[in-house]
Structures are given as structure tokens and as C-alpha cells.
Amino acid sequence: MDRVIVVGGGLAGVRTVEALRAKGHQGEVILVSAERHRPYDRPPLSKAVLAGDADDTTVDVDWDELRCEMLLGERATALRPGDPSGGTVVTTAGELEFDGLVIATGARPITLPGPGGRRVLRTVDDSRALRARLAPGVRLVIVGAGWIGAEVATTAARKGCEVTVVEAADAPLSGALGPEVGALTARWYDEAGVRLRTGAKVAAVEPGALLLADGERIAADEILVGVGVRPELDWLAGSGVEIDGGVVTDAAFRVTVAGALRSDIVAVGDCAAWWSKRYGRRLLVEHWDTALNAPTVAAAALLGEEGAEYDPVPYFWSEQFGRMVQYAGYHPVAERVLHRGDPDGSTWAVCWLTGDRLDAVLTVDRPRDLVQARRVMSAGTPVDPDLLADPERPVREA
């Protein structure tokens, strides 16, 4: 394979470049990325960067050693796959022919209708701009009590802002964890002095206010929309690449073009919906751990390594209201929920189970539980639910 083009300079893009070189790829590598910044980490953008404790999260990479040409501030606008292999990426810097292609364009935030000003939080520029506005007394209205909403509320409240979080569902994190478990986090908002409005649908963003569907207006100096993301795939329109929620891939991140599985085109990171053998379905996991680890498999597939397959127990974390919240597994497959410790206490966990199979775990300030539960799930070790419910007993002994 001579020339590999990587489209997207987020974590998944840079990790794929590293993996290609680590696996001995000698050909040309070109990274095309819409942002002007070198690849950087996003999780701190709603944490340390927003708080002012960090400013630069650039991924520590020796680009010269990687022999990677970077086209920063340039965007892919179309893909013309060749038949049966190779093709051309059309970019704002011109047309680039490729022998191998990595689609790593990530995701972009969903926004809301209405003429008023609003912010989203996806890039380091978004984070720095919002940070500059967080000051005592500033009325910040956050739409969405998801991961980003909770993290921004944490920092903004600490900075003395008057924070209101507006959520359409009946509980925070409902979309991610289900209403029952999500509701366990509602009191954290109150304790932090953040006003949480659940069951409140937004009609429009107006200048200086958020208009709710019931006609109420919530006055705001700043509005942040944190209602989720969509894969950034417009540039693939008309290319024949199969898309269903994200770019549809097999377990090695190979994509399908016009009905044919391509070993020279992979998709990875927030834009890829990959086949999980473990869960028997396609997963689109918009989290850091996947962007970090999946590229090794994607690079192996691109270089034609036999048996490349990604089949982890998914993992992510969130830091909210002074707590470390961690999740591993995939709870939609589970039959029931089990509490491990008192959710009104300072540390606790929730386990999702099917019979004696542990499907997922959410831990609050219990990192050891998380690590052990992830190992149990990876190995498929059966658990005793009664023992698991006892927070004094290590998960590995359940």
C-alpha cells in the first residue's frame, strides 16, 4: 500500500497514523483535518480546560518521526472510491488519490432551532470561548442533562454562575443510562446549586432567552446546547459508503462501498458503527477509549493483517459534581438492575445483569469496582448477584 489518507485529525485519526507506522507501513501518510490545531484530546475541554486548569491538550506525537504530512484547516468534501480499490478524496486543498483510506471525521454537536445565540462544546476553541464567559452571576442555561451538560454545570457553578439545566426527559442521563439510573444523579445538581428542569422541551433559542414548548422563557446570558452529536459524514454523500447511524463497518472497521466490503477503506472513532461480536450488534460508541484503542485494529485491517478484530467491553468516564463516574459494558442487553451500595451515600455502583451474567456497571467514586467488573465482563465470568450487591465485598469475589 503506497499512500494512506487519514481524514479527520482527532484522537482516532492520530492513533491510526501511529498504529500504521508501528506496524511497519512505509508508504506515504497524509492527515487531512478541518481544524487548524494539531490533534488534541477532547475530554479535558469540559473539565480542566473549561475550569482554567489547563489550556493545551495537544496529543504528544513526534510528527516528523511519523513521517506524516498534515493538511490542517482543510476539509474533505467528497469521496470517489475506485473500483475495486483505491480512489480519490476531494478536499479543500485539492484532490488526493489514495491506496488506503481512514475515515475518522468524528462527530459534530446537534444544535437547536431559533435565532438566538447559543454555544456548543466540541473544540478547544469552543471551550476557551465559553471559559471566557464563565463569571460570577452570569446566567448560564444548559440544554441537556447528559455527560457534557453535567460537566459544564459543575465547572460553571464552581465559578459562581447561575446555572439552569433544561432536560426534555424526566431525569438526567436518561438517554445514556435509562431514567431509573439517571434519576440517581438528580440530587447532585441540587447540592451543587444548579437548577435542574426535567421534562422541559425546548421550542427555540431566542436572543437572551430559551423558549420552552409550554411558552415559558428562561432568561440567559449564555446558552449551551449539549443534546448529543451526529457523526460528521456529509462529505461521504453519494460515495456509496454504507451509512446507518454511523459508517457501517465489520469488526475490523472495514467499510462497505456499493455492497462490497473494502479492505482498503476503514472507518474508526465517533463516526463508525462497528460490528460487535460480543453483543451481536453494531455499536456506535462516542467515547475516548474507543478512539484510543480501536485504531490499532483499523490499521491492522488496512495493512491486510489476518484476524484483526475489535471486541472490547466498552468503557468511558465522566467527572461531574466532584465525582468520578465510570461505566463499562453495554446495558441495553440486560434484564435487570442491581444496586451495589446506597445511591444516597458517597460511593455506590449499579450493575446490569442477565441471570448470572454481568452486562454493565456504573460506578460512582469506586474505580476498583470498575476495573474488576470490566475484567469479569471481558472474561465472561458468571457472578453471584447476592454477593455482587454487597459493596464491602470485591467485585472479583462475587
Query: What residue ranges bind ligand FAD (CB under 6 A)?
Result: 7-13, 32-35, 42-43, 45-46, 75-76, 104-107, 121-122, 148, 232, 235, 269-270, 286-289, 291, 316-318
Which among 85, 87, 84, 93 is positioned nearest to 34, based on CA atoms?
Answer: 93
Nearest residue (CB) to ligand FAD, 289 versus 309: 289
Smallest distance, ligand FAD to C-beta of residue 15, A:
8
Nearer to ligand FAD, 121 or 349 (CB): 121
Hey, is 14 helix, strand or coil?
Answer: helix
Q: Residue 38 CB, nearest distance to ligand FAD (Å)?
A: 10
- Contacts of residue 285, defined as CB under 8 A and 6 or more positions apart, other chains included, come to 314, 316
Residue-wise DSSP of 259-328: TEEEEEEEE-STTEEEEETTTTEEE---SHHHHHHHHHHHHHHHTT-TT-------EEEEEETTEEEEEE
- Counted residue by residue, the chain has a size of 398
Q: Which is nearer to ligand FAD, 152 or 376 (CB)?
A: 152
Query: Which of residues 325 and 383 has its CB atom nearest to ligand FAD in the complex?
Result: 325
Nearer to ligand FAD, 17 or 107 (CB): 107
**Edge-first strand listing for the sheet containing 246-248:** 243-244, 246-248, 272-276, 281-283
- 309 burial (CB, 10 Å; 0-12 / 13-18 / 19+) is middle
**Distance, CA of 398 to CA of 395 (rounded, Å):** 5
Reduced to 3 states, what is the DSSP secondary structure of residue 108?
strand
Rounded to a whole number of angstroms, the minimum distance from the CB of residue 152 to ligand FAD is 8
Number of DSSP helices (H) and strands (E) in the chain, helices first: 11, 27
Nearer residue to ligand FAD within complex by CB, 296 or 353: 296
Smallest gap from residue 295 Cβ to ligand FAD (A): 9
- CB neighbourhood size of 346 (10 A): 11
Residue nearer to ligand FAD on the CB measure, 198 or 326: 326
Cell output for 130: 465559553
Distance in Å, CB of 124 to ligand FAD, minimum: 9
For the CB of residue 16, give the shortest distance to ligand FAD in the complex, in Å.
9
CA distance 292 to 142: 29
Of the pair 275, 315, the CB lying nearest ligand FAD is at 315
Of 288 and 348, CB closest to ligand FAD: 288
* Least CB distance to ligand FAD at residue 47 (A): 7
Minimum CB separation of residue 119 from ligand FAD in Å reads 12
* Min separation Cβ 242 and ligand FAD, Å: 18
Cα Rg, the chain, nearest whole Å: 22
Q: Estimate the crossing angle of helix 288-302 against helix 11-22, to 10 degrees.
A: 40
